[in-house]
Structures are given as C-alpha cells and as structure tokens.
Structure 1
Amino acid sequence: MDYACRALLAVVFAVAVAGKARSRTAFGAFSAGLADFSWIPASTRNGVALVTLLTETFTAVLLIATARFGALLALALLAVFTIATVRAGRAGSCQCFGVADAAAGSTVGAFLARNALLAVTALAVVLLPDGPVSAVIGLASVAVGAGAGAVVTRWDDLVYLLRR
C-alpha cells in the first residue's frame, strides 16, 4: 500500500509541476492566477509562484526518495492550498493539471474533496508501517498508485462529467 500511495501523490505533484512549468505562458498564468488570493501582494506573485513550483517539485522527489518526509511536505502543501482556497471562497486558477481553468461546474467542495483524499493518502504513508514487498507486488502497487494519480489529476473533468 505504501508504494501505491507514494506513487499516487508523486504523480499528482509531478503533473501539477508540469502543468505550471510547461511554458512561460503557463507559469505566467499560474502567477497571475494568484490574484484570486487577494492577500498575496501583486509584487510577490512571481516569487510565490516560483516557491510553490519548487516546493511541489521537491515534494514529488521526496515521495520517491524518503517517503515519510515527502508525505509530510505533501500534507503541509495541501493544508496551505486548502486554507488559501477556503479563505478565498473559491478554487483559484492554479494551472496544476494543464488546463487554463477548472472545468465548468467545479466547486470549492470538489477541490476540498480532492485535497482530503490526497491528505488521507499522505497520512497513510506517514502512519502505516512500510516493509519489504516482492518486486511484482511493488511494481503492481506503483502501477495502481500511478493510475489513481492520473485519475486525480483529471478530478475537475470528472466532477464536470458526473454533474451532467
């Protein structure tokens, strides 16, 4: 289970980084989208965007290298993102998963549900014992986790489809 949870989280954070860093335009849109959070001064948005990008990258790497530290950093990021969203009263345009805006019909509730799922997954990595597993079980776990991570990155699209 540890490998599946780590893979899920690593995929989500890696795709979030790729969505923001895929081009100057995407990074600029992410930085500009921080205007949704009015307490972030305009003069610091590029810096906040860069720190966010680097921290998400570091989180994905740590999830592979040292699972518990990576999971703790993931929990911290998820808490910050969740608090910021609740404080703003709506999900911002984060560019996380390669789209300009969340799919039509996405809500703060859907955002919070996704973050709760990710937080529980990170808690599982922190709290559950890890132990040796066979190569086959390990690879299968990573594949399942990566697949689940791919589904999570399309969360807004799924919410949109299920609401129709």
Structure 2
Amino acid sequence: PKPKPNLFSNLDYLMLSLRPDFSYGLSHHIVPGCARFGKIDETGESKLIAATATNKVGEIIIHDNETVLNINEKIRALEVTTLNKTHDVIIVGTVSGVLVYDVYNNTALIQRELIDGINCIEVGKFNTYDKIIFCGGNCAVWGLDIEGKDAFWTVTGDNVLSLCLSDVDNDGNNEV
C-alpha cells in the first residue's frame, strides 16, 4: 500500500524558511507586556515604545528617538493610542496611578492617583464614549474619559490582570 503523506512536512518546510527581515535589541530589561508601537511625532513613523524597570523607578524608552521619559514609580502597564489628535499618546500605569503623556507636545494630559495602582490598561469605545481608558487594579476597574474624569468604576473579587473590550452580546455596544 502507498504510504500516507505527512501532513506536517510542508508546514515544517514553511517554518524553516521563515527568516526575520530585521532585528534589534534594547540594552534594558523590559517590563513584561510593556512594549508597543506608536506614532508619537511629526514624522508619522511608528516607533518602539517600551517600559523598563530598575528597582523602584521606571523609564519609557522610545527607540530611534533619543527620548527617555523618567517615571519615578514602578511601571506595571503601558498602552499607546490616539485620543483626539493626529499623533499617539503614551498611557503609563504605575503602582499608584495612571499618566497619559503627549510626547509630541511634551505634556502630561492626565495624571490620576489610583490608590491600588494599575495592573493593566485597555482603551476603546464604551457606551456613549468614543474613547475610554480602562485601568485594572487591585480589586477594581476604573474607566477614565479623555479628560481624566471618572466615567466608570466597579469592584471585582480579585486583582485585575487583563482587560478586553468586546461586543459579547452582539448589541452594537462593547462590554468589559
């Protein structure tokens, strides 16, 4: 009898033929889950934005931009998004709050103390808000509008380590 073809032989060949186009490294320890790409300047080019950790102080490194933002707290979460402008802003979650920073204009747009700190961040459309910043902390979820005002708050039974916005019930509105 004729042997059956190995279904994985083509896949193995494909995996062996994949090669990276480029690679580079940062000479810093990156906080897990805290590396994003964003368009933060007038060039419109995507830049790698990463959070580093050294003891109790964090830094935001912007690759190919010679910019380092010193954050005087331990960084736990990082997100990059467009709020209401043509360039992206950096959202930093720390052990004591959240900072929304506009690198292009060198301005802190929002700086809020959230007692339990921030473990994760999700940004998106929710209810009547086109953009809302959800911050997951220790036993709570906060939602801030683009001006930093409270738009949502709820208590959870445990630490919030990840967030996702999705239209679970197909009603046209996102749920957390």
Q: Rg bigger for which structure? A: 2
TM-score by length of 1: 0.27
Structure with the higher helix share, 1 or 2:
1
Structure richer in strand, relative to its length: 2
Q: Structure 2 length normalisation: TM-score?
A: 0.26
